[in-house]
Structure 1
Amino acid sequence: MATQTSLPPNLPSSIRTVLQPDKLSSKLILTTTQLPQPSHPDDVLVKVHTTCPGAGELWWMRDYPAVIPADKLAVPCSDLCGQVVAAPVGSGFRDGDEVYARVSPSRPGCAREYTLARTSELAPKPASLNFAEAAAAPLSALTAWQALFVQADSLDAAALHGDEAARRRNGSRRVLVTGAAGGVGSWVVQLAALAGAGAVVAVCSAAKAEAARRLGATEVVDYKANPLPEWIAEDRQGRECDVVIATVGGPMLAQCWYAVREGGELISITGDPAAARPADVADKTLAKCSFFIVEPLGRILREITPLIDAGKVHPVVDSVFELKDIEAAFERVEKGKAQGKVVVQVDGLRS
């Protein structure tokens, strides 16, 4: 059983930290705060190399008060790549280990020089990735994995590890993902293709179509030139999908109702799909229609890591910003133009 972490004596007492002073504003400041102190038996102190802004993240404290404590130190960014500085005895982690994780948004994030992660959130960093690439993986990969293989029931993750029977079963499934070239969407495309889905339909702009095909998409829909309802109507029987993963909210979430077949599954990471149901598909019955918030599970990252190191899947990095430019990094994310993940370099190192 792990015992609470004790810190080495040579650490700084204060660290560079990005804060969001007002939960009703996206304004960020770069300041200094005290070195975080372990307070939970599973706390691991990590020196942060890289992290990533999340879409809509600066409004989470406002929008999800049941998830984000009101007294949370408002440090943004929950993706992490870094190096263990101090870990509980018996935790399986040692000083100097390179790790990656998604840290729960209920606790301070990773846009600071040192942060605290739980042993249950951490996994060893994939050896084949540099720091920027490793930070780009956890939140997006975990979200895609849980959407496809936990929230949806139609696909079997055993196919990813060589189970041919599972792969044959997956081969009868059509999977569609919106925002297919984004952080989460790019992972949905890769994992669905790797699992042997019979079709992987990527919904994205024309400018991102070729990138989606390289990731494994078998069909690409330009949502600007060909909105989903119109595309589906051209060949309803041939184009409706068994599993639809919605990574984009608003009108696009509503359009997903036209793409999912009767008895299919509609899984959203952006809001409740039932609330977005259009009136003209009111009689469509689904096996599953759900919104979920990803769980920060290191055990799933440990399943994804060998796939990364074998070159079967990979994170997509759009750009890398310095910590002082984190507002510009968030701006790029929110504009929706990024192809993959925007990364923030915290410690100034490059690898």
Structure 2
Amino acid sequence: MNVLWRRAVPLLCRRPRLRADTATDRGLHSSCRRRTVMPAWIIDKYGGNDVLRFSDNLLFPILNYPNEVIIKVHAASVNPIDVNMRNGYGAKSLNMTRDPLHLKTSSTEFPLILGRDVSGTVMECGLSVKYFRPGDQVWAAVPPWKQGTLAEFVLANANEVSLKPKSLSHTEAASLPYVLLTAWAALVHSCGLSKEKCPGKRVLIIGSSGGVGTAAIQLLKAWGAHVTAVCSGNAFALMKNLGADDVIDYTVARVQEQLKTRDLFDAILDNIGGSSEELALHYLKPWSGATYVTLVTPFLYNNDQLGIADGMMRTGVTLASKVMKHYYKGIHYRWGFFAPSGPTLDEIGELVDAGKIRPVIDEVFPLSDVPKAFQKLEAGHARGKTVIQIVDPKK
């Protein structure tokens, strides 16, 4: 659970680079300062797609702390968490961690901007930011307790930001940060996997054709693991194209029956939850350090339904019981959460530029069609990411 609240590593851990004081930089800075309002998609209350509202006079973000940057958004994307947040999921927990300066200017979290991924241009830097300068092309995943990226500009902590891979366009880059950081946190922090430990390991990915699943396949293959993907038959070609060694079509026969003919696994990454948890007890190697990690947890739901104190208690009891149940079978049981991190995106960017990770984009929408993008995501069965194009790349 602590991973959910983990902030990015201190700025001092980043490799230094001095900001250049050029005429171009000063021009970007002064242009940014002159802005007072910007367009954005916001919600003023929680609910269905009808609560999404386009506003062209939202207050322009300002630097509140010396380690922040303002980014002009070229492209963003929509993730399942955005749909859930629109519905009000996790509101009690997330409001606890929102910046007091935001809540100070409003009696509630509204107006709230959704969207987590961003690829764009640095417009302004805080005084302590040494690694970036105005004009840098960057990408990031903004955590859900902050204002989102479905806007012309977004405010981000410099520790959450990384230089965009040179091999990707902004549209491509915007499809990757949130899902890759979620997959990285689950595989590295929860499963204990890494490029040094992955060679020879067998990993099963349940729900492999979505954003996190496609990201996890590519990370694991870049690190030398053997990957088995569970998906529907129409995603078979995509899984193979991404490097999956084995693909299980859950529409043909029960996954349990198909797994009986395969060797046991060292790790399972579960993007679906529910009854699929039972697979861990039968298809992981017992007493070998094998780990099951799920991204579907009751943490935020419990807090929403029971309040923070009772919700945390219920969550703790649930997690402890599941950990013990699996431990008695020789299996490690873990929960996985998204963790923002610019340094991790630095490492991922190297894999991208080396051709080991590539974007998987299902569809691109203009900023005017954000509600349609939400509708598409809610319909399910996406093959990769849904991207929002904010700046026309042809202009």
- How far did residue 103 of structure 1 move? 0.4
Is residue 2:74 matched to residue 1:49? yes
- For residues 327 and 144 of structure 2, the distance between their equivalents in structure 1, rounded to whole angstroms, comes to 37
Q: 1:295 to 1:282 in 2, by over 3 A?
A: closer
Q: 1:178 to 1:350 in 2, by over 3 A?
A: farther
Of the structure 1 ranges 208-217 and 67-76, higher mean CA displacement relative to structure 2 is found in 67-76
**Cα deviation digits, residues 56-80 of structure 1 (max 9, x gap):** 4232373322124452541111000
Figure out how many residues of one structure are paired with residues of the other and give that number.
Answer: 330
SS of alignment partner, residue 170 of structure 1 = coil
**Cα deviation digits, residues 277-304 of structure 1 (max 9, x gap):** 99xx878635421223211100000001
**Cα deviation digits, residues 61-109 of structure 1 (max 9, x gap):** 7332212445254111100001000012341111110100000110110
Q: How does 1:311-350 map to 2 (within 5 A)?
A: 311-350=355-394
Q: 1:30 to 1:258 in 2, by over 3 A?
A: farther
Is residue 2:270 matched to residue 1:243? no
Q: 1:181 to 1:284 in 2, by over 3 A?
A: farther
Q: Check the 8 A contact 2:76/2:149 in 1, yes or no.
A: yes
Is residue 2:231 matched to residue 1:204? yes
- How far did residue 262 of structure 1 move? 2.7
Match of 1:8 in 2: 30
So what's the TM-score if we normalise by structure 2?
Answer: 0.77
SS of alignment partner, residue 297 of structure 2 = coil
SS of alignment partner, residue 107 of structure 1 = coil
- How far did residue 253 of structure 1 move? 4.7
Given candidates 23, 32, 57, the residue that maps to 2:46 is 23
Q: Which runs of 5+ in 2 are unaligned?
A: 1-10, 13-25, 99-107, 300-317
Of the structure 1 ranges 137-146 and 59-68, higher mean CA displacement relative to structure 2 is found in 59-68
- For residues 117 and 44 of structure 1, the distance between their equivalents in structure 2, rounded to whole angstroms, comes to 5
Q: Which amino acid aligns with 1:71?
A: E
Q: Check the 8 A contact 2:65/2:126 in 1, yes or no.
A: no
- For residues 98 and 257 of structure 1, the distance between their equivalents in structure 2, rounded to whole angstroms, comes to 46
Given candidates 168, 180, 192, the residue that maps to 2:208 is 180
- Percent identity over the alignment is 28
- How far did residue 337 of structure 1 move? 2.4
Is residue 2:84 matched to residue 1:84? no
**Cα deviation digits, residues 317-348 of structure 1 (max 9, x gap):** 11100111111112222222221111001123
Which structure has more helix as a fraction of its residues?
2
Q: 1:254 to 1:75 in 2, by over 3 A?
A: farther
- For residues 216 and 89 of structure 1, the distance between their equivalents in structure 2, rounded to whole angstroms, comes to 44
- For residues 281 and 78 of structure 2, the distance between their equivalents in structure 1, rounded to whole angstroms, comes to 29
Is residue 2:159 matched to residue 1:120? yes
Q: 1:255 to 1:324 in 2, by over 3 A?
A: farther
- For residues 310 and 171 of structure 1, the distance between their equivalents in structure 2, rounded to whole angstroms, comes to 19
Q: Check the 8 A contact 1:265/1:286 in 2, yes or no.
A: no
- How far did residue 256 of structure 1 move? 5.3
Match of 2:335 in 1: 291
Q: Check the 8 A contact 1:124/1:302 in 2, yes or no.
A: yes
Kindly report the root-mean-square deviation, in angstroms, between the aligned alpha carbons of the 2 structures: 2.6
So what's the TM-score if we normalise by structure 1?
Answer: 0.86
- For residues 284 and 227 of structure 1, the distance between their equivalents in structure 2, rounded to whole angstroms, comes to 26
Q: Check the 8 A contact 2:44/2:111 in 1, yes or no.
A: no
Q: 1:317 to 1:172 in 2, by over 3 A?
A: same
- How far did residue 218 of structure 1 move? 0.6
SS of alignment partner, residue 143 of structure 1 = helix
Q: Check the 8 A contact 1:203/1:220 in 2, yes or no.
A: yes
